[in-house]
Amino acid sequence: MKRIPIVFFAVASILSACHDWPEENRNRTAKAEQICTEINHNMFSFQVFLIAFEQSWVIDEVSPIVVNDKDVGYSVTFDRFGPVYFYRELGSNHDPNLKINIPDIGFRLSNDGLYYWTLDDKWMIDDDNEKVPVINEKNEGGGGDGDDVDFNPEDYIVPKLDIDDNDDNDGNNDIWEYTPDDETWIPLYPVLDNDNDDNGKDKDKGRVENLTPEPDSFIDSIVIDDDSVIVTFDDSIIYVYKYKVYDLVYKKFSVASGKQVYFSPGNLQYNAKNNVWRFAEHQWESLISQNDNISSTYDGWIDLFGWGTGNNPTLAEEEDNYYNTFSDWGNNYISGGAKVSKWRTPTREEWDYLCESRPNAEKLRGLANVNGVNGYVFLPDDCANVVGLKFIRNSNESSSNRFTIEEWKEMEHIGAIFLPITGSRYGTHTSVTGRGSYWSANKGSEFWDWGSEGGFYLHFGSSDQAHIDNTRRRDGLGVRLIQNAGL
């Protein structure tokens, strides 16, 4: 990671000109000015971070902020804005023994589902005695709603701290103040803690009701894994995702006359404990027996879901009447997917057209084995007449098309899609059937002994061509999402 040295010199240079200040006061005031700047950075950065989370931005880079060879925070750059700066340690460029009063700025999720700023463990309020929201747009037309609207920080209001020196020359009368709206300044308490006992800090001034438990303060840690950046704010955890690099080249597949789609780069996976969706890192990845652990608290990944459980992915009830309404999995934010509702589940008609009715369908499909995993291959529309492929078209046996990882990468470079075998789940038990089963968005027909409609799905085996079938909606099957070409 690139390391970012931060040098604080402007404030110190200005203050050093005030030769008549007591030395300790000058140092304490310089420290307060630095902390004021850092807290203001934190407030702005958290507002941006929350907007990024709500609008499904992704993180391009995270770098440590280094002061005097010590990591004191993080610089974070998003795909649509940045960098922004988070400081875990305030005033790190100064003597830690210098005593000053420091406003404790934090945030808290309110009962209305919105985040609001806090000040000294109480709600921060504006001049009308109202709580101050973290995301506070200046007007209805601000840049906050759509994915296609460029982010402009000028469209939002962020509270700011400042120090009022009261025209004195020794710092003794300096007062903290804040503005919730860029217009009204509300005084707080002295900057200098001359008694070293915090008695000069009137925490009740300008705030309402104590908050229990205490509000979250700013970033405690940032942990980077393969496809996400996990940011911890005290007890709160918020995920913002990095783009995931896949080998797949996106190509078009016809799913109806005049209608083409792209396929996601892997099967859909879900982590219940952290409420996180992602695509499998490799197309041949299928979790199968891990799905036995399905629960709302499981800290692992599952990839078999009851029909239409995009809004309740850990539902494992064994009766079909729990699965009456279809909620598309593509309505969720999916790591590597960037936009909410960018992806969707294929319909029964689209799966069928892909398998049987698109031009040259028999040339663009076949059973295969990738990295030791059986499954089914679909080639994009423009591969019907490509020569030299190491692929037996319309193969009825997985053993006829065997690919190593390196050989499969060559297929991905032309846009080939591989659906691995999935098994199926009943309740909390997964059957390793050697078959692949992928949901459609459509309810199926009713069998005489079911008592309810089933769900249509794509089905294939190691020697069984892909086709549409009908099964119980309670069954846990795989999900492979698509998006309309051109989005």
CA torsion, points 294, 436, 364, 310, in degrees to nearest 10? -30
Q: Are 171 and 132 found together in one domain?
A: yes
Instruction: Kindly give the pairing relationship between strand 424-426 and strand 429-431.
Output: antiparallel
Q: Are 327 and 429 found together in one domain?
A: yes
Q: Are 268 and 182 found together in one domain?
A: no
**Largest Cα span, the chain:** 95
Given 212, 238, 264, the domain boundary residue is 238
Q: What is the amino acid identity at position 61?
A: E
Q: Which of 115-119, 252-256, 302-306 has the lowest mean pLDDT?
A: 115-119
Q: How confident is the model at residue 234 (pLDDT cuts 50, 70, 90)?
A: low
Does 189 fall in a domain? Answer: yes
Does 247 fall in a domain? Answer: no
Q: Are 107 and 140 found together in one domain?
A: yes
Does 243 fall in a domain? Answer: no
Query: What does the alpha-carbon distance between residue 163 and residue 36 come to, in Å, rounded to a whole number?
Result: 8
Number of domains in the chain: 2
| Nearest in space to 329 (alpha carbons), one of 321, 317, 337 | 337
Q: Are 56 and 173 found together in one domain?
A: yes
Q: What is the amino acid identity at position 437?
A: S
| Nearest in space to 120 (alpha carbons), one of 48, 192, 236, 200 | 200
Query: What does the alpha-carbon distance between residue 370 and residue 399 come to, in Å, rounded to a whole number?
Result: 10
**pLDDT above 50 (res 106):** yes
Tell me, what DSSP letter sits at residue 38? H
Q: Identify the helix (H) or strand (E) that includes residue 23.
A: helix 23-54
Q: Are 153 and 266 found together in one domain?
A: no
300: buried, middle or exposed (CB in 10 Å: 19+, 13-18, 0-12)?
Answer: middle
For 97, residues 6+ apart whose C-beta sits below 8 A from its C-beta are: none
Does 30 fall in a domain? Answer: yes
Tell me what pLDDT residue 57 has: 74
Query: What does the alpha-carbon distance between residue 410 and residue 82 come to, in Å, rounded to a whole number?
Result: 36
Q: Are 353 and 422 found together in one domain?
A: yes
Q: Are 228 and 290 found together in one domain?
A: no
Query: What does the alpha-carbon distance between residue 227 and residue 240 come to, in Å, rounded to a whole number?
Result: 9
Average pLDDT of the residues in 88-102: 82
Cα-to-chain-centroid distance, residue 118: 24
Average pLDDT of the residues in 319-324: 94
Three-state DSSP class for 13?
helix
Average pLDDT of the residues in 295-301: 95
Given 203, 238, 273, the domain boundary residue is 238
Average pLDDT of the residues in 348-356: 97
Residue 279 · residue 269 · CB < 8 Å: yes
**pLDDT above 50 (res 209):** no
- First-last CA distance in the chain: 33
Q: Are 217 and 277 found together in one domain?
A: no
Q: How confident is the model at residue 330 (pLDDT cuts 50, 70, 90)?
A: very high
Query: What does the alpha-carbon distance between residue 373 and residue 207 come to, in Å, rounded to a whole number?
Result: 61
Q: Are 306 and 277 found together in one domain?
A: yes
Does 246 fall in a domain? Answer: no
Beta strands in 175-227 (DSSP E): 175-179, 186-190, 207-210, 221-224
If one counts every other C-beta atom within 10 angstroms of the C-beta of residue 347, the result is: 16
Tell me, what DSSP letter sits at residue 346? P
| Nearest in space to 435 (alpha carbons), one of 350, 374, 351 | 374
Place of tokens 């078959």: 435
Tell me what pLDDT residue 225 has: 62
Q: Which domain holds residue 432?
A: 253-484
Average pLDDT of the residues in 29-52: 89
Q: Are 227 and 291 found together in one domain?
A: no
Q: What is the amino acid identity at position 85?
A: Y
Q: Which long-range contacts (CB under 8 A, 24 or more apart) does 397-400 make?
A: 397/367, 397/462, 397/463, 398/367, 398/368, 398/369, 398/374, 398/462, 398/463, 399/369, 399/462, 400/366, 400/367, 400/368
**pLDDT above 70 (res 340):** no
Average pLDDT of the residues in 189-194: 81
Q: Are 417 and 449 found together in one domain?
A: yes
**pLDDT above 50 (res 188):** yes
If one counts every other C-beta atom within 10 angstroms of the C-beta of residue 290, the result is: 16
Kindly state the percentage of the chain with pLDDT values over 90: 47
| Nearest in space to 306 (alpha carbons), one of 333, 324, 332, 280 | 324
Tell me what pLDDT residue 93 has: 78
Residue 59 · residue 240 · CB < 8 Å: yes
Q: Quickly list DSSP for 60-79.
A: EEEEEEEETTEEEEEEEEES
Three-state DSSP class for 447?
coil
Average pLDDT of the residues in 132-155: 68
Tell me what pLDDT residue 104 has: 87
Place of tokens 């004195």: 168
pTM above 0.85, yes or no: no
Residue 436 · residue 419 · CB < 8 Å: yes
Does 463 fall in a domain? Answer: yes
| Nearest in space to 131 (alpha carbons), one of 142, 120, 122 | 122
pLDDT digits (tens, 9 = 90+) for 60-76: 788 888 988 888 888 88
Three-state DSSP class for 16?
helix
Query: What does the alpha-carbon distance between residue 333 and residue 277 come to, in Å, rounded to a whole number?
Result: 7
Residue 72 · residue 160 · CB < 8 Å: no
| Nearest in space to 375 (alpha carbons), one of 359, 353, 395 | 395
Does 85 fall in a domain? Answer: yes
Q: How confident is the model at residue 147 (pLDDT cuts 50, 70, 90)?
A: very low
Residue 61, token pair as written in the block = 């880079």
Q: How many residues in the chain?
A: 487
Q: How confident is the model at residue 233 (pLDDT cuts 50, 70, 90)?
A: low
Residue 476 · residue 305 · CB < 8 Å: yes
Tell me what pLDDT residue 146 has: 40
Tell me what pLDDT residue 138 has: 85
Does 116 fall in a domain? Answer: yes
